[in-house]
């Protein structure tokens, strides 16, 4: 943690006294809110600091982003007293400055970004940006045309407004899908161990709580496996086995943010 005025001064915005005047005039924001308290403690790895609307980044806070192929069974958190977090898969990454962008449920898997860049996180998770996120899900039953239309037009999941329209493709259906022990635990006990199931690709443009699972539940289907395969235009590297990670290239970072409203 560092004082806001020192951070801005270190970043070359101005002298400490000049920076304090900028704060008093409302020219500095922290996570989108005007901050006139120049003595406020900030964490530049988790907060977005802007001067006159432009993000401020010190040379010592170089933006880094990792792609992780998250396995099921890990929490998207920097620490937890009871469960393993994704950082147990990344022992060389500093949890004091790095954090997950968005979340995947503990039992979900696939593409997860880990970064120290608050601005990147904001761009990818802000509800106003409508960044597409693509998942492959395995659900109970076979989807009817009526249910597919509901998903594609915007399903009501019990919130104040229906979800935004989603892109949905049924990849295949199986009449006798044998559930694993882990999959069986995610479904109602009334279902047998062998069920009719569908493998579906879905792209959504929001990030509501348990949104994909709730969308299918509202259409009378239960998700028993969920894997995120893409965020924006960037897909999960197929060479990354579950639990593996690597740093994004400059080109991939540009691809990740391409087309996002600023």
pLDDT of 149 higher than 80: yes
What pLDDT sits at residue 257? 82
Topology (CATH) of 65-128+233-257? Alpha-Beta Plaits (3.30.70)
Q: Identify which has the larger pLDDT, 7 or 25.
A: 25
What pLDDT sits at residue 228? 98
What pLDDT sits at residue 198? 98
Would you call 200 helix, strand, or coil by DSSP?
Answer: strand
Which whole-number Å values give the CA distances from 32 to 35, 50, 52, 126, 175, in the listed order?
A: 9, 8, 11, 11, 50
pLDDT in tens, 32-83: 899 999 999 988 767 888 898 887 866 556 678 999 999 999 999 998 988 9
Is 140 within 8 Å of 176 (Cβ atoms)? no
Q: Where are the domains of the chain?
A: 2-59, 65-128+233-257, 133-231
The predicted model gives 96-121 an average pLDDT of 90
Superfamily of domain 133-231: Alpha-L RNA-binding motif (3.30.70.1560)
What pLDDT sits at residue 185? 93
* Active site amino acids: 105
Q: Identify which has the larger pLDDT, 96 or 225.
A: 225
Q: Identify which has the larger pLDDT, 16 or 10.
A: 16
Query: 2-59 and 65-128+233-257 share one CATH topology?
Result: no
pLDDT of 261 higher than 60: no
pLDDT in tens, 70-100: 999 999 999 898 899 999 999 888 887 789 9
What pLDDT sits at residue 25? 95
- Closest by CA position to 219, among listed 171, 163, 181: 163
What pLDDT sits at residue 7? 87
The predicted model gives 1-20 an average pLDDT of 86
What are the two backbone dihedrals, phi and then psi, of residue 10, each rounded to the nearest 5 degrees? -60, -30
What pLDDT sits at residue 58? 62
The predicted model gives 172-180 an average pLDDT of 97
Topology (CATH) of 2-59? 3.10.290
pLDDT of 147 higher than 80: yes
What pLDDT sits at residue 14? 84
The predicted model gives 214-224 an average pLDDT of 97
Can you tell me the distance from the alpha carbon of 189 to that of 185, in angstroms, rounded to the nearest whole number? 8
What pLDDT sits at residue 2? 86
Q: Rounded to a whole number, what is the distance in angstroms from the first to the last CA of the chain?
A: 27
pLDDT, averaged across the chain = 91
Q: Report CA torsion sign: 257, 122, 120, 214.
A: negative
């Amino acid at each position: 943690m560092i004082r806001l005025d020192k951070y801005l001064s270190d970043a070359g915005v101005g002298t400490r006294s000049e920076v304090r005047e900028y704060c008093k005039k409302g020219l500095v924001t922290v996570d989108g809110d005007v901050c006139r308290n120049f003595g406020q403690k900030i964490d530049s790895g988790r907060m977005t600091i802007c001067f006159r609307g432009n993000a401020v980044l010190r040379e010592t806070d170089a933006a880094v982003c990792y792609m992780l192929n998250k396995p099921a069974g890990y929490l998207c958190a920097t620490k937890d007293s009871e469960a393993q977090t994704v950082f147990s898969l990344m022992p060389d990454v500093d949890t004091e400055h790095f954090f997950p962008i968005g979340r995947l449920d503990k039992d979900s898997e696939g593409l997860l970004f880990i970064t120290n860049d608050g601005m990147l996180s904001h761009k990818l998770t802000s509800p106003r940006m409508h960044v597409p996120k693509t998942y492959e899900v395995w659900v109970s039953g076979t989807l009817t045309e009526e249910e597919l239309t509901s998903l594609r037009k915007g399903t009501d999941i019990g919130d104040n407004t229906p979800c935004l329209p989603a892109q949905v493709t049924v990849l295949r259906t199986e009449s006798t899908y044998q559930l694993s022990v882990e999959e069986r635990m995610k479904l109602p006990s009334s279902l047998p161990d062998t069920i009719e199931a569908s493998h579906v690709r879905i792209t959504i443009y929001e990030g509501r709580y348990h949104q994909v699972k709730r969308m299918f539940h509202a259409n009378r289907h239960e998700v028993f496996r969920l894997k995120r395969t893409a965020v924006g235009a960037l897909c999960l590297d197929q060479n990354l086995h579950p639990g593996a990670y690597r740093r994004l290239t400059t080109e991939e970072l540009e691809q990740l943010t391409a087309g996002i409203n600023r």
